[in-house]
Amino acid sequence: MRIHRCLFRPARALIDQKLDFYSQFNPSPLSMKQFTDFGQNATRTESYLFLRKELPVRLANIMKEFSLLPENLLLMPSTRAVQDLYCKSFGDLMEFEGKDANANLIDKFTDALTKIRNRHQDVVMTMAQGIMELKDAHRIDNNMEAYIQYFLDRFYMNRISIRMLINQHTLLFGDSINSHHHIGCIDPHCDIVRVIEDAYSNARFLCDQYYLASPELVVKHHNEHDKKTKYIKEAGKSADRTSVSVVYVPSHLYHMLFELFKNAMRAVVEHHSNGDDNIPPLEVLLVKGTEDLTIKLSDQGGGIPRSHMDLLFNYMYSTAPQPAASGMETPPLAGYGYGLPLSRLYARYFHGDLVLTSFEGYGTDACIFLKALSSEANELLPVYNKTCQRQYSTPIQTHDWSSQGHSAMFVRPFSTNSLNKLHSASS
Ligand code: P4A
């Protein structure tokens, strides 16, 4: 169970020992409310003391899990490069272990975090590269594919969480001027309609450029929960626009919506490309209940067969050579990147979800669910433990349903995704 070669640090053995130590701790998930309270009240010393332990814990948890991947994959140059990055960053953080907080040291710590964030900028692409290297070199069986799917969901979720922690610290305590009313990267009054319109208009721009046509947008919202007084005040400020707001990271929401709008536009425009009929609009329904905030995006893009649904979230299936690398023009709405699986992770990160329901022959509904209450929006984090270790040594279930059907559902019965299992296992 070694972590492959840490090129940059002479003290390999020491790093391995520290990894063993920090991986014994479970990550401490924070709620959105804790993030905002912390952001408003904590000192940079408190932030330093928390992160000095929490970041190594989160890194160590995922690095140990990384090393459980099939050896074939770990031997690929790109996968090794990613492991080396993690090793280096973990080593950087070890420099601060046990050192007393003083202004100078915390400055250095903040710089180190910025360096780590930049160093890991391209990790998603490099991992995808590693998968392509594996595809080229080896046949990938169903087990291997399941391990990789399970791992990448957890690896990217861990990455999202680490970047969130780093961003909070650097935005709150770094040199940059903190923008208006935001708390780090959190908007305590994230205006959902504004983000919807923003994502729509940017996706529409790409769509118009490529197809010379795009669907209109109709937003319906229903705000049962927010106080009527606030409702009226905001409506008075800007004509007929009412607001639905939530404590959230606008960039995460934008990422999800932009992805869903691109997919919907592509499906709708291609489905109605005969030119005869008009392009039907995209419809968004926005609802804030007492527990959930729901954003439903409905399109009439013809939908996709049920048997195809799982593939939309499958990393192996979605890992294809980048068109840009081959010198061809990049189709701007080209999907099948990691757009959907990563968007679903963003939704799940704070205990929400992203669900697609398609009606083949008609269109697709994409729903984003978010927690309406910041006290319930806890980070969902992968934990390195016995249950997780077992995933990498247990072959996928053999069929206990007849498997002559052509539905992907029955190719690998009921193992659509790992996070569902995680939810049901812990409850
Ligand atoms: N029908 N429905 C969708 C797609 C088709 C769809 C589609 C052909 C498939 C691949 C793709 C983009 C669209 C949709 C909304 C979604 C997802 C898929 O959120 O209408 O490239 C990624």
pLDDT digits (tens, 9 = 90+) for 255-272: 999 999 999 999 999 999
| 409 or 127: which leads in pLDDT | 127
pLDDT of residue 243: 80
CA-nearest residue for atom 16, ligand 1, is 263
Instruction: Note if the pTM is more than 0.85.
Output: yes
364 ligand 1 Cβ < 6 A:
yes
Can 314 be counted among the known catalytic residues?
A: no
Confidence of residue 213 (pLDDT cuts 50, 70, 90): very high
Which of residues 294 and 335 earns the better pLDDT score?
Answer: 294
Q: Say yes or no: CB of residue 265 within 6 Å of ligand 1.
A: no
Q: Is the CB of 413 under 6 A from ligand 1?
A: no
The Cα 73–Cα 148 span in angstroms is 9
- Of 46-50, 61-65, 113-117, 178-182, where does mean pLDDT reach its minimum? 178-182
At residue 12, the pLDDT reads 81
Active site residue 263: yes
Q: Is the CB of 260 under 6 A from ligand 1?
A: yes
Determine the Cα–Cα distance for residues 196 and 261; give it in Å rounded to an integer: 9
Whether residue 291 is predicted with pLDDT greater than 80 in this model: the reply is: yes
Lowest-confidence region among 60-69, 90-99, 387-396: 387-396
How far is Cα 138 from Cα 362, in angstroms, rounded to an integer?
A: 39
- Regarding the beta carbon of 343 and ligand 1, being less than 6 Å apart is answered no
pLDDT at 419: 33
Strands 292-299 and 363-371: antiparallel
61 catalytic per annotation: no
Ligand 1 nearest-atom number relative to CA 366: 19
Place of tokens 């031997």: 75
Using a 6 Å cutoff on CB, does residue 302 contact ligand 1? yes
Strands 292-299 and 245-248: unpaired
What the block records as the tokens of 63 is 């690095």
Asked if residue 250 has its Cβ within 6 Å of ligand 1, the reply is: no
Query: Average model confidence (pLDDT) for the chain?
Result: 87
CB 366 near ligand 1, within 6 Å: yes
CA of 407 to the centre of ligand 1 (A): 18
Give nearest CA residue, ligand 1 atom 1. 303
Would you say 381 and 58 are in contact if contact means Cβ atoms under 8 Å apart?
A: yes
Split at pLDDT 50, 70, 90, the class of 29 is very high
Reported as a pLDDT band with limits 50, 70 and 90, residue 130 is: very high
Which carries the bigger pLDDT value, residue 116 or residue 398?
116
pLDDT of residue 425: 35
> Rounded to 5 degrees, what are φ and ψ at 325?
-70, -25
- Look at ligand 1, atom 20, and give the residue with the nearest C-alpha: 264
**Interhelix angle for 142-173 vs 123-137, to 10°?**
170
The DSSP element (H or E) to which 286 belongs, if any, is: strand 282-288
| pLDDT above 80 for 170 | yes
Sheet harboring 353-359: ordered strands across? 217-223, 282-288, 292-299, 363-371, 353-359
Task: Give the CA count within 13 Å in the CB-facing half-sphere of 325.
Answer: 5
Does 120 participate in catalysis according to the annotation?
Answer: no
For the chain, domains (ranges, CATH) are: 9-183 (1.20.140.20), 187-371 (3.30.565.10)
For a pocket test of ligand 1, which of 266, 296, 317, 356 has the largest count of ligand atoms closer than 8 A to its C-beta?
266
Q: How far is the CA of 266 from the centre of ligand 1 (A)?
A: 7
Lowest mean pLDDT among 132-141, 244-253, 331-340: 331-340
CA distance 141 to 96: 43
Q: What is the pLDDT of residue 398?
A: 77
